[in-house]
């Protein structure tokens, strides 16, 4: 199958909307404001933290706030703490910093960044564990969520591959981003489990 | 409303050819800028790469208007499709503010035919 026809290609995965097994997005948004727009989205790899961060960022933009985005992952070079602090200090009440991967800076650097953000209108971060800021929501995945997202990508025929989805979810420890990459590879290889869909 | 019209209704070109057409727009309030981009982008397993090859920017256009455009197509990359990645070309028009867009997909490759990498097309469109 051609890459541009593969239903699991990256840009289609990127267009999937955030879903939480129990909390609607509106409730998460309200809770963010109740926390003074200073909060952490906590969850394991591939559970939707970045997707939720982007969706909340869009909502905050719609409220007239300016969004500043930082991104760090395990492969990112270590940022210079001074540069982070300098940029954080430049934020005012109309700015919100969305810091994806805040858990990748050292704890002393994090404290400095957090203090430097005092004037900012908000600070919303993602992390794999609690403790950076009050927890806004814990993201998680389950079989029903994977089935629903797969249905968005390939339609009702997703029901016929539920055993395969469960097998992949277990193999990737619930990381849905990796599950969709695995499905991409199976489609690209014309795997018989997907061919008949 | 923004529309891109390629001369002759063509959607496939060889590298180095000249792409001609007309950009038309209609809005209640005149946009501040209108930009037409000729770009390529990747689709597939990895993150998307994008390259803007040519750009036509119209500052403070009227609310209703049209403008001819002419781009010499670059020598590459070719439109191609494999199992891991496809490279596609497009014309994209964007107004600011407002963000109205129009998009036309193109093939830019020798003889105007998308290059197939490996046996990518063996089961294309099966679902």
Higher pLDDT, A74 or B14: B14
- Confirm or reject contact between B27 and chain A (CB < 8 A): no
Contact check, Cβ <8 Å, A184/B45: yes
Q: Give residue B28's pLDDT.
A: 86
**pLDDT given for residue B29 in this prediction:** 86
pLDDT of residue B126: 39
**Residue-level pLDDT at A109:** 95
Q: Which of B115, B123, B124 to mutate to test the interface with A (most CBs of A within 10 A)?
A: B123
Q: Which two tokens stand for residue B104?
A: 């036309």
For residue A43, what pLDDT is reported? 97
Residue A168's Cβ-side half-sphere holds a number of Cα atoms within 13 Å equal to 21
Whether A75 and chain B come into contact, CB under 8 Å, resolves to no
From A157, A188, A195, residue closest to B83, measured CB to CB: A188
Can you give the pLDDT at residue A38? 98
For the segment A129-145, the average pLDDT, to the nearest whole number, is: 96
B77 at the A interface (CB within 8 A)? no
Q: Is pLDDT at B123 greater than 80 in this prediction?
A: no
Cβ–Cβ gap B123/A189 under 8 Å: no
Phi-psi region of A36 (alpha: psi -120 to 50; beta: other; left: phi over 0): left
The share of chain A scoring above pLDDT 70, in percent, equals 99
Give A88-100 pLDDT, tens digit per residue: 999 999 999 999 9
pTM over 0.90: no
Instruction: Find the helix packing angle between A81-89 and A107-116, rounded to 10°.
Output: 20
Q: Which of A83-97, A153-167, A182-196, B4-18 has the lowest mean pLDDT?
A: A182-196
Assign B81 to helix, strand or coil: strand
Which one of B46, B83, B86, B117 would you mutate to disrupt binding with A, by most A Cβ within 10 Å of its Cβ? B83
In this predicted structure, the answer to whether residue B99 has a pLDDT above a threshold of 90 is no
Residue B119 has pLDDT above 70, yes or no: no
DSSP string, A86-154: HHHHT--TTEEEEEETGGGS-HHHHHHHHHHTTTSSEEEEEESSS-SS-EEEE----HHHHHHHHHHHH
CA distance A60 to chain B (A): 18
Chain A contacts of B43, Cβ < 8 Å? 3-4, 9-11
At residue B124, does pLDDT exceed 50? no
- Asked casually if ipTM beats, i.e. exceeds, 0.85, the reply is no
Window 107-126 of B, Cβ < 8 Å to A:
116, 120-126
Domains of chain A and any CATH numbers: 25-138 (3.40.50.300), 141-194 (no CATH)
> Which residue of B46, B47, B124 is in closest CB contact with A1?
B124
B-chain CB neighbours of A11 within 8 Å are 43, 48
Residue B125 pLDDT > 70 = no
Q: What is the mean pLDDT of chain B?
A: 91
| pLDDT reading at B127 higher than 70 | no
Q: Rounded to an integer, what is the distance from CA A175 to the centroid of its chain?
A: 11
Q: For testing the chain A interface, which of B44, B116, B118 should be mutated: the one with the most A CBs within 10 Å?
A: B44
| Euclidean distance between CA atoms A139 and B102, whole angstroms | 36
Please answer whether residues A79 and A29 qualify as being in contact, where contact means their C-beta atoms are separated by less than 8 angstroms. Answer: no
What mean pLDDT value characterizes chain A?
Answer: 95
């Amino acid at each position: 199958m051609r890459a541009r026809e593969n239903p699991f290609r990256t840009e289609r995965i990127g267009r999937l909307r955030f879903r939480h097994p129990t909390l609607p997005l509106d409730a998460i948004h309200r809770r963010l404001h109740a926390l003074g727009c200073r909060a952490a989205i906590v969850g394991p790899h591939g559970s939707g933290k970045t997707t939720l961060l982007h969706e909340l960022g869009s909502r905050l933009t719609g409220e007239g706030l300016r969004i500043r985005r930082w991104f760090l992952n395990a492969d990112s070079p270590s940022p210079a703490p001074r540069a982070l602090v300098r940029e954080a200090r430049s934020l005012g009440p109309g700015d919100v910093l969305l810091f994806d991967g805040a858990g990748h800076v050292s704890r002393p650097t994090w404290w400095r960044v957090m203090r430097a953000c005092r004037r900012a209108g908000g600070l919303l971060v993602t992390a794999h564990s609690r403790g950076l800021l009050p927890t806004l929501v814990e993201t998680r995945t389950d079989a029903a969520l994977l089935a629903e997202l797969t249905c968005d990508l390939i339609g009702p025929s997703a029901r016929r591959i539920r055993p395969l989805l469960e097998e992949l979810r277990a193999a990737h420890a619930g990381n849905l981003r990796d599950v969709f990459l695995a499905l991409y590879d199976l489609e690209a290889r014309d795997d018989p489990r997907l061919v008949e869909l | 409303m923004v529309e891109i019209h390629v001369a002759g209704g063509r959607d496939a070109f060889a590298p180095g050819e000249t792409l001609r057409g007309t950009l038309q727009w209609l809005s209640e309030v005149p946009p501040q800028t209108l930009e037409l981009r000729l770009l390529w982008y990747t689709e597939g397993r990895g993150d998307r790469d994008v390259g803007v090859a040519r750009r036509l920017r119209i500052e403070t256009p009227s609310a209703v208007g049209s403008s001819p455009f002419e781009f010499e197509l670059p020598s590459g990359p070719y439109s191609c499709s494999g199992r891991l990645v496809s490279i596609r070309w497009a014309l994209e028009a964007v107004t600011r503010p407002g963000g109205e867009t129009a998009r036309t997909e193109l093939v830019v490759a020798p003889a105007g035919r998308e290059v197939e990498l490996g046996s990518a097309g063996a089961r294309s469109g099966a679902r």
